[in-house]
Amino acid sequence: MPDLLQPSRNCWQIARADNFSVIVDAADYFDAARAVMQQAEKSIVMVGWDFDARIRLGSLGLQDGAPTKLGNFILWLADRRPELEIRLLQWNSGMLRNWLRGNNAYYLLRWKAHKRITARFDGIHPPAGSHHQKLLVIDDRVAFCGGIDMTLKRWDTRDHRDDEPGRVTPSGRKLEPWHDATSICDGDAARVLADVCRRRWKRATNETLPPVTGGRASWPQAIRPMLRDVDIAVARSRPKMDDQEPVHEIESLYLDMIAAAKRFIYAESQYFASRRIASALARRLEEPNGPEVVIVNPVRADGWLEPLAMDTARARLVQSLQKHDPHGRFGIFHPVTAKENPIYVHAKTMIVDDRLLRIGSSNFNNRSMRLDSECDVALDAAQDPTGAMTTEIRDLRLGLMAEHLGCTPADVTREIDAGGSLLAAVHALRGPGRSLVPYQIPDLNGLEEWLADNEILDPDGPDEIFESLTRRGLFRGRLRRPD
C-alpha cells in the first residue's frame, strides 16, 4: 500500500519516533507527564487552550516527593533545576475566564515573578478564533500531543466510575466522568513537535526560542511503547490572517483518511459539526461496498454556548446523513457509566481499517479545520510490512470499544467476527449499565435550526465570519437540507 501521509498536502513533516504510544484518559497522562517533567534538565514547553494551576497533577495518593498541585509543581521544578526554563503559552480568552477563578491569579503572579518561568497568553488569532493546540515538550526529547488540557474536569480513569473520589474540583465538588486521549513520542518526532511549539511561541510573543541541546528527559517507565521505530506525521490547522497564510493540513488529512477507508472508520470526537466531514462521509456511505462509520460523541456539548453551536449542527447533519445511508452503515453513539450517567467525550481520535491512526487537538467541527490553531499526529501502518503495527492499532481500537461497552476486547472481537461489522458488534454488546447509547436527534426550535444552518457559532474559517448569510451554511455543496 502506498503511504497516505504526504508532506505539503495532509501533514507538515514526517519524522521518526523511537517510541510512540496512545494514552487513554487523563489519569495515566497526568502521571506520565509528571514523571517526564521531573527529569527535565533544560526545557519544558506547555502550549494549551487552558491551564488551571489548582488541579492535582497526578493520581490520588501519588507519592513521589513533589507537590501535587500544578501551580506548586511548576515552581518546584524551576527551583530544583538551575538550568531549566519553563514556558507556558495559553489562549488569551481562556485566561479571562480561568485565571480570575479561585487562586489562579496568585499562581500566575508567582510564575511570572520567577526568573525561569515564563507564562504568556496567545491572542494572535482571528476574531472568534482560538489557540487550541495541546502540546507538552520536555527537553525536545519527549513530547505529548493530543486532546487533554491540564485543567479542570479532565482527570479520570478508564473505569469512569460513577463515584470516583479523585474526580473532583479543587474545592472537592464531584465532576462528571470524562473520556480523553493524547499521544506520546520521542526521537526526531518529538523535535518536530518542539518546532511546532517554537513557531507558536514566536507568533504569540515575537521571541525566538533556540532548539534545546543537552537535556536528559526520557520515556516514562509506566507507559508501554505501542510502537517502536515508526514514522509519525505532524499535521496542523492555521487560520488565514493578513500576515499569515492558512494551513489546512488537518482538514486534508481527515478527507484523505475518509476517502481511503475500505472497511470501517472509527472516530471519537467532542463534536460532529463539520460540513466537509459530513459530505465526505455521505459519499462513502452511498457506495454499495463502502466503509461503515462508527462515531462516539458526548450526549451534549459542554458549556452553555457550545450546545447551541455544536449540538444543533450535529442534529441537522445527522438528519441529512441518514438520507445518504441507504445501506445502514452509519452509527453515532454516546457512552454512559454503570449507572447510565453520561460520560463526556473530549477525545479526538480516528482509526481507519486499523491501518491509519490520527490523534490530536482537532474536532469534527468547522473551526478545527480553518479557524483555530490545531496540531495532530498520525501514522500509516503501510510502513510496516510485518503487520505488527496494524495489530497494535487494532488492539487500541478494540480497547476503546470495550471501554465504552463495558466488556473485554475479546468480547468485541467475537461479535465483530460473528457479524462481520463494527456496528453489528456495538448493537450486540449494548445493554443496561456501562454501554454505548445510540444518538437520538432532538427536536430543534426555529432559532436553533437557524443558528445551525447558518453556522453562526461555528464559522468555516475567518472569512465566513463576515460573509453574507446567503453565502454560508451547513448545506452548501453536496449535503441535502433535511426535509
Would you say residue 83 lies in a domain? yes
Q: Parallel, antiparallel, or unpaired for β 247-248 and 374-380?
A: unpaired
Confidence of residue 3 (pLDDT cuts 50, 70, 90): confident
Would you say residue 287 lies in a domain? yes
Q: What per-residue confidence (pLDDT) applies to 450? A: 44
pLDDT tens sequence across 303-349: 655 656 678 888 888 988 999 999 999 999 999 999 999 999 999 99
> Does 37 lie in the same domain as 65?
yes
Percent of the chain scoring above 70 in pLDDT: 88
> Does 263 lie in the same domain as 223?
no
Length of the chain: 483
pLDDT tens sequence across 402-431: 999 999 999 999 999 999 999 999 999 999
Residue range 286-301: mean pLDDT, rounded: 96
> Does 105 lie in the same domain as 170?
yes
Residue range 351-357: mean pLDDT, rounded: 98
The amino acid present at 423, given as its one-letter code, is: L
Angle between helices 275-286 and 312-323 (to 10 degrees): 20
Would you say residue 2 lies in a domain? no
pLDDT tens sequence across 46-65: 999 999 999 999 999 888 99
Q: Where do the DSSP E strands lie in 283-438?
A: 292-296, 330-336, 344-345, 349-352, 356-360, 374-380, 435-438
pLDDT tens sequence across 219-235: 999 999 999 999 999 99
Q: What is the mean pLDDT of the chain?
A: 91
Residue range 341-369: mean pLDDT, rounded: 96
Categorise residue 25: left if φ over 0, alpha if ψ from -120 to 50, beta otherwise: left
Please name the residues in contact with 12: beta carbons below 8 A apart, sequence gap of 6 or more.
Answer: 192, 196, 233, 234, 235, 236, 247, 249
> Does 443 lie in the same domain as 363?
yes
CB 342 within 8 A of CB 296: no
Would you say residue 98 lies in a domain? yes
The CATH number assigned to the domain holding 410 equals 3.30.870.10
Q: What per-residue confidence (pLDDT) applies to 470? A: 47
Boundary (domain end) residue, out of 229, 262, 282 = 229
Does residue 456 surpass a pLDDT of 50?
no
Q: What per-residue confidence (pLDDT) applies to 451? A: 53
Q: What per-residue confidence (pLDDT) applies to 112? A: 86
Q: What per-residue confidence (pLDDT) applies to 447? A: 43
Q: What per-residue confidence (pLDDT) applies to 381? A: 97
Confidence of residue 40 (pLDDT cuts 50, 70, 90): very high
C-alpha cell at 203: 507568533
> Does 220 lie in the same domain as 309?
no
Would you say residue 481 lies in a domain? no
pLDDT tens sequence across 103-147: 888 888 899 899 999 999 898 888 888 899 999 999 999 999 999
How many structural domains are present in the chain? 2
> Does 302 lie in the same domain as 177?
no
Which domain does 68 fall in, by range? 13-229
Residue range 95-109: mean pLDDT, rounded: 75
Boundary (domain end) residue, out of 229, 247, 265 = 229
> Does 213 lie in the same domain as 247?
no
Residue 89 parent element (H or E): strand 85-91
pLDDT tens sequence across 388-404: 999 999 999 999 999 99
Would you say residue 208 lies in a domain? yes
Q: What is the distance between the alpha carbons of residues 157 and 174, in angstroms, rounded to a whole number?
A: 14
Q: Parallel, antiparallel, or unpaired for β 356-360 and 349-352?
A: antiparallel
Boundary (domain end) residue, out of 176, 208, 229 = 229
> Does 245 lie in the same domain as 198?
no
Residue 313 parent element (H or E): helix 312-323
Evaluated on CA atoms 77, 151, 397, 349, the torsion sign reads negative
pLDDT tens sequence across 58-94: 999 888 999 999 999 999 999 999 999 999 999 887 5
Does residue 2 surpass a pLDDT of 90?
no
> Does 258 lie in the same domain as 216?
no
Residue range 24-36: mean pLDDT, rounded: 98
Global pTM reads 0.93
Would you say residue 201 lies in a domain? yes
> Does 292 lie in the same domain as 162?
no
Q: What is the distance between the alpha carbons of residues 254 and 363, in angstroms, rounded to a whole number?
A: 10
Please name the residues in contact with 140: beta carbons below 8 A apart, sequence gap of 6 or more.
Answer: 42, 43, 190, 191, 194, 211, 212, 213, 215
Q: What per-residue confidence (pLDDT) applies to 11? A: 98
> Does 135 lie in the same domain as 63?
yes
> Does 197 lie in the same domain as 110?
yes
Would you say residue 477 lies in a domain? no
